[in-house]
Amino acid sequence: MRRKKGLIHHIELYVSDLEKTIEFWGWLLPELGYFEYQKWGKGRSWKLKDSYIVFVQAEKKYLDVPYHRCRVGLNHLAFYAESMDQVDQLTDELKKRGVTVLYPDRHPYAGGSDHYAVYFEDPDRIKVELVAPF
C-alpha cells in the first residue's frame, strides 16, 4: 500500500500514572477528532484515521528517573487544531482544568508571529502543542 508509505502508524508513550494520563488525554484527544481505540489494564489508545497514540503504564522499576523533554528522546507532540478559535477554546479549557499554559507572555504567538498555538504539558510534563492552520 504505497498511499500509506511514510505516514505515522502509531506513537506509544510510557507514562508514570496511567489514570492521570487517561484523565488528561481522554478529554483532549476527542476534541481533536480522536476516538478511544483500545483499552486494557495497563494501557489506552486513541485513533484518528489510520494513526493512533498509545499510553502504557511504565513499570515501577523504570519510574526512578522522570521524563524531561530536554534529554535525548521526545521533545514534544504537536497537533493541528481546527482553527484559531479552537486553540482559544482549548486554551480556556486547559486553564479551567488547572493545566499550566507555557510561555504565557508570548501566547498565542510563542512559536512566532505566523504560528498561532498553545503550548502546555501533560501529567508527565511532556510538552504538547496545538497549532492552528494558517
99 shares its domain with 55: no
84 shares its domain with 127: yes
Please determine, for residue 77, whether its predicted confidence score (pLDDT) is greater than 70.
yes
Per the structure, the complete domain to which residue 117 belongs is given by 75-134
Give the domain-ending residue among 61, 87, 104.
61
Is residue 106 domain-resident? yes
pTM over 0.85: yes
Nearest residue to 27 via CA among 83, 90, 69: 90
11 shares its domain with 46: yes
Is residue 69 domain-resident? no
* Confidence label for 3 from pLDDT (cuts 50, 70 and 90): confident
Domain count across the chain: 2
39 shares its domain with 11: yes
State how far Cα 80 lies from the chain centre. 11
- Position 134 scores a pLDDT of 83
Neighbours of 78 (CB within 10 A): 13
- Position 2 scores a pLDDT of 63
* Confidence label for 5 from pLDDT (cuts 50, 70 and 90): confident
Is residue 68 domain-resident? no
Q: What are the backbone dihedrals phi and psi of residue 21, each rounded to the nearest 5 degrees, phi first?
A: -65, -45
- Residues 11-66 have pLDDT tens digits of 999 999 999 999 999 999 999 999 999 999 999 999 999 999 999 999 999 999 98
CATH code, 83: 3.10.180.10
